[in-house]
Chain A
Amino acid sequence: MTLETILFYALSFVSVGSALMMITRRSPVMSALYLILNFFALAGLYLTLHAQFIAVIQILVYAGAIMVLFLFVIMLLNLGDEKKLSEKMSYKKIIPAGLSFGLLMELLYIVSYAKSDLPLTHIERATEIGTVEYVGKALFTDFLFPFEVTSILLLAAIIGAVVLAKKKLD
């Protein structure tokens, strides 16, 4: 086993484990913490794929900004006490779980079926295209229009969030 393989399996174990813990915890704060752990594992996986810019942005945006916002809201609403929302096993749980399992089987089948069509090895350029320089160049040339549109999306989100979270519109 090479170092890369060991890293991959360790990180995927952490990622799947923390995802499972995330959806099974009672306390939303613990769920959020496991999700943060999951994001770190994902950042590690991006590094094994030589996508260093995406990896650091993953930490900066997801772990550093979005999840802080989640934690902030959970603490603000004081959702620590979860006993009222105690969740029992019922048909409402079992049916979605069964359906999701079916979907998983389907996805796995597709992945193994399409095996011959998938690209097999890293291409040498993989190390190069993950760098900030390369991503930046692509972002400001080929993807300039989507990039500009994103700013409108963000503006809309800012206004929407302020309007929604305001106590009273006057």
Chain B
Amino acid sequence: MGMEILVSTAKFLIVMTVILVSVIILVYLERRISAFIQNRTGPNRVGPYGLFQAIADVVKLLLKEDIVPKNAYKPVHDLAPIISIGAALSTFAVIPVGNTIELFGTTMKLMIADVNIGILYILSVTSIGVYGITLAGWSSNNKYSLLGGLRSSAQLISYELSMGLSIIGVLMISGTLRLDQIVQHQTMYIGGWLPNWNIFLQPVAFITFVVAAFAETNRLPFDLPEAEPELVGGYHTEYTGLKFGLFFLAEYANMITAAAVITTLFLGGWHLPYAENLGLSAFTLSLLQVLAFCAKVTVILLFFIVTRWTLPRFRYDQLMDIGWKVMLPLAIANVLVTGLILVL
């Protein structure tokens, strides 16, 4: 019992550290890539190639004065960023980053909690994340913030539907809610050579899920809650210093989480194709699989960034039209077709 608690705490600390460090790298990458796309230089002053720019930004945010507007509702104003960051980080608890590994004589699973309602847990934590943005918008007592909050709650509710429905297709194929077993199911091969990843079996679900993930993480082309030209800064207009930093962190942590969920559900999780035939030792194989997981997540993150800097923002009615009239019917049709194929 004591050992289990120790192991869980260690896993938790490692995952937290990795996420926080990757957020810093991600911010740097985003700024450099956006600069490259827009033919600018980007951050290049702090450290070699501007590598320490993100760290300097973090220090700046930590040292800034925390300003709360006079008419803001203070308890909720403080609570909102905490909800946001909590929801963004706690999703990672059920994501398997690798297969079982032998360490110090014990076999352990490379995930914090192996619960048998894994996917439902992810969906419910995502739905809690809405409150952070909505409450931030309301409690700031500022019309731009309020508009941002309203937009985000409408947007997130709409896209949660197509997100949930596109997962159902995956569930029907693998027949379990355990993320661990969903990944195990994807380690087989179709016809002996094509990895049994859900992206090949469920391409439509993959597309709807990725679009929904863009909307859920408030990334362009769906970043209406914080659309700068229209809403000043959106829901976090009235936030400064550490609390703004928390929102910023939550946004990027959400991106990483979304990428990890996409990887787990559709891209075979930690599965590295053909690696199990190479005759490596179990330990090396496990390490390679963790690296494969990280590599897949990185590719999706790069896709997120490139999309953000190459597409314009949707109009609000277009956003709703896509959510309700395109994505939702597509997801439902996908469930229907999957069911038919499974029955036949």
Contact = CB atoms under 8 A, between A and B. Distances in A.
Do A and B have CB atoms closer than 8 angstroms in the complex?
yes
Interface stretch (A58-66, A100-108, A113-121): A58-66
Interface stretch (A11-19, A67-75, A144-152): A67-75
A60 B130 contact: no
B268 to A, nearest CB: 23
Nearest to A63: B128
A60 B62 CA distance: 34
A164 B4 CA distance: 54
Contact of A56 (B124, B135, B138): B124
A53 B117 contact: yes
Contacts of A65: 127, 157, 160
Contacts of B116: 52, 131-132
B117 A29 contact: no
B150 A60 contact: no
14 contacts: A29-B73, A29-B138, A36-B131, A52-B115, A53-B117, A56-B117, A56-B120, A56-B121, A60-B120, A60-B124, A63-B127, A64-B123, A68-B127, A69-B157
B138 A75 contact: yes
Interface string A4-44: 00000000000000000000000101100100100000000
A59 B124 CA distance: 6
B139 to A, nearest CB: 8
A76 B120 contact: no
B134 A75 contact: yes
B149 to A, nearest CB: 7
A72 B150 contact: yes
B154 interface: yes
Interface string A101-140: 0000000000000000000000000000001100000000
B58 interface: no
B121 A75 contact: no
A57 interface: yes
A76 B126 CA distance: 22
A76 B124 CA distance: 24
A69 B48 CA distance: 49
Contacts of A64: 123-124, 126-128, 130, 160
Contacts of A75: 134, 137-138, 146, 149-150, 153
Given A60-B123, A131-B116, A132-B117, A29 B76 contact: yes
A21 to B, nearest CB: 12
Contacts of B149: 75
B283 to A, nearest CB: 34
B329 to A, nearest CB: 14
